[in-house]
Amino acid sequence: MHVMLLFPPNWTPAMPHLALPTLTAFLRGHGLRVTQRDLNIEVFETVLTRRFVERMLYRLRREYGPHAERRSTRRVAPSRDLVVKALRSGPAIAARIERAKKILRSPAFFDGPVGREALMTIVDALQIASLPFFPAALEMGAYRPARTADSTRNILSEVRDPQVNMLIDLFARGVVADIEREQPDVVGISIPSMGQMIPGLTIAALIKDRGLPCHVTVGGPHITMLRERLAKSPGIFSLIDSAVVFDGEVPLLRLCEALAGNGDLSRVPNLIYRDGDAIRVTARKEPEKIGALPLPDFDGLPLDRYLAPHLTLPLLSARGCHFGKCAFCNVGYGEAENFSLMRSEMLAEQMVMLHRRYATQHIFFSDEALTPRTLRELSLTLERDGVPVLWGGCARFEKTLTADLLQQMYRGGCRMMLFGLESASEAIMSRMVKGTKLEHMHRILRESTAAGIWNHTFFFFGFPGETLDDAQQTVNFLYEHRDHIHSAALGTFLLEIDAPAHRFPESFGITRVIDPPEKDLAIYFDYEVSTGMDSAMADLVETRFMETMPVKPFPQFYVNDVYRFLYACHLSRQGAPLPPLLARQDTGAEVTVA
């Protein structure tokens, strides 16, 4: 039985995703032949070439004229100024692409002006390469389709529309030609996010249109979120044969065994599958405990091609979230949470094995939140054994994150922590069921910075019931800690499927959830609230705050979590201070957001 596992675009090109290596290790451990392909980095490798960009410039000149003097006949076209800029600067940008990629893959990335120029070359090249498919675009950390993947109609239209889908030709010439040649029995497509629905199902459509005999299955968090909706969307099953929901190791193994046997899929757990004209759903199986899973297997991935100065590999210390109650988060996807934690000694062993096997010195934990116990035991073990690996990951503002523990974490290799701040209003934190206290947030940010750890914070505006005063409290907190926060990700509240706020809207002041029938595959919903800001005001607050943010002279260090983490590691090695996100204001004046 030959299984080919595919990871489609809509992910950072700086690091592999953990989904395929986890499945690959499990299936190979049970004797299956597995080929894993990270199509995300493969697409970047193809597009970010002089030849590809020059081909796209030729298409632009043919469609718009050598000076963009012709109007396009396309339904949606880019502005003339954008096309003119591309035609003028494109040849020079194409000539610099190879050098830019080499810089991002080398220590020269950390040279501020040099790294900045390389990043901007890559960004400009991606924009030029995407213009013939406008409004779809391949960006540094995302593939943005022309249509949102929240409806069967949009998906079925875009996966076969070469006018806006640049991936059709790339996949047809690449991975689908390889599938036709290698003839795997099963093609598994990982779809962790909505942004990967159209890329992933473009592959599926090409396979079906060529009449290839392999069984096409999809899985991942996004598929799990859609499990009830997919069962009512037979149109998607014109592209795929089945969908695996929740954790996929055992279900995918059982699927392969069933296909190799009598073909009866009814006993395969966690499966939605097509049976003639019917869509059937099988019983759910409890997930494997993380301690029972093998070390992720990255063999076969092009680890030397990721666009980062040092190889960084992802790892998990646990499955699920040890808190699992936040009202805005859909961890567990509406089902009872099955949290399982790996023993810290085993986790340290895995880090050592990845270091020895792949020569990596950087591990980024993909956990929802590392537990204080893991942080304490892991850092003690790594310091004691002198493991030459630096690491980072997410954590909650827990009372038990003391100054002594944070210093121990630094000695044990921690260089970056990502904290879910969300809001600095006690009233909103309580409404969110965050389970954290403002006093601990104040202390931990200061003590973490003193320990030498880069603090990254997540926060957003517009949780139901939040007022302008609540939002101002968050902004004031950020400026109070301007020397203790080194990067941040901000946004506005999204009502996500299966989150407590979606399942029990009345409990959170949501008076109406808007779920139009034409968006049959939606996972985010518009809503109305009884009190506080609406979504439009939240957007305005976010915009006003963004306008106050200082411009970074070297933005390459802030593009994604991997670059931030590697920059923090680099500064640590240099003995250099960590730069604050917000410049110090000697006047001490607060910023007003609205």
Q: Can you tell me the mean pLDDT for 316-320?
A: 96
Q: Which of 514, 518, 497 is nearest to 152 (CA)?
A: 518
| pLDDT bracket for residue 244 (50, 70, 90) | very high
Q: Can you tell me the mean pLDDT for 78-96?
A: 97
Q: What is the pTM of this model?
A: 0.96
In contact, 447 and 400? CB cutoff 8 Å: no
Q: Can you tell me the mean pLDDT for 309-329?
A: 96
State residue 583's pLDDT score.
63
The string of DSSP letters for 398-434 reads: -TT--HHHHHHHHHTTEEEEEEEEE---HHHHHHHT-
Residue that wins the pLDDT comparison between 333 and 564: 564
| pLDDT bracket for residue 586 (50, 70, 90) | very low
| pLDDT bracket for residue 335 (50, 70, 90) | confident
Distance from the Cα of residue 541 to its chain's centroid: 25
Helix (H, G, I), strand (E, B) or coil at 211: coil
pLDDT at 444 over 70: yes
At 35-46, the pLDDT tens digits run: 999 999 999 999
Cα–Cα dist 485/480, whole Å: 10
State residue 334's pLDDT score.
84
State residue 351's pLDDT score.
98
Q: Can you tell me the mean pLDDT for 96-123?
A: 98
| pLDDT bracket for residue 589 (50, 70, 90) | very low
Cα–Cα dist 594/588, whole Å: 19
At 450-463, the pLDDT tens digits run: 999 999 999 999 99
Structure tokens at 342: 């790996």
Cα–Cα dist 281/498, whole Å: 19
Q: Can you tell me the mean pLDDT for 497-519?
A: 97
At 366-379, the pLDDT tens digits run: 999 999 999 999 99
Q: What are the two backbone dihedrals, phi and then psi, of residue 170, each rounded to the nearest 5 degrees? A: -60, -45
Q: Can you tell me the mean pLDDT for 116-121?
A: 98
Angle, CA of 1, 5 and 278, to the nearest 5°: 80
State residue 591's pLDDT score.
56
Cα–Cα dist 134/130, whole Å: 6
Cα–Cα dist 524/120, whole Å: 32
State residue 590's pLDDT score.
52
State residue 202's pLDDT score.
98
Q: Which residues pair with 527 in a beta bridge?
A: 513
Q: Can you tell me the mean pLDDT for 389-416?
A: 98
Q: Can you tell me the mean pLDDT for 223-249?
A: 97
At 162-203, the pLDDT tens digits run: 999 999 999 999 999 999 999 999 999 999 999 999 999 999
| Residues of the chain above pLDDT 70, percent | 98
Lowest mean pLDDT, pick from 45-49, 103-107, 279-283, 337-341 = 337-341
Contacts of 123 (CB under 8 A, 6+ apart): 139, 140
Q: Which DSSP letter does residue 344 get? A: H
| pLDDT bracket for residue 353 (50, 70, 90) | very high
Contacts of 148 (CB under 8 A, 6+ apart): 154, 194
State residue 585's pLDDT score.
39
Q: Which helix (H) or strand (E) holds 89?
A: helix 80-104
- Mean residue pLDDT of the chain comes to 96
At 51-68, the pLDDT tens digits run: 999 999 999 999 999 999
Cα–Cα dist 166/39, whole Å: 13
The string of DSSP letters for 346-359 reads: HHHHHHHHHHHHH-
Peptide bond into 221 cis (omega under 30): no
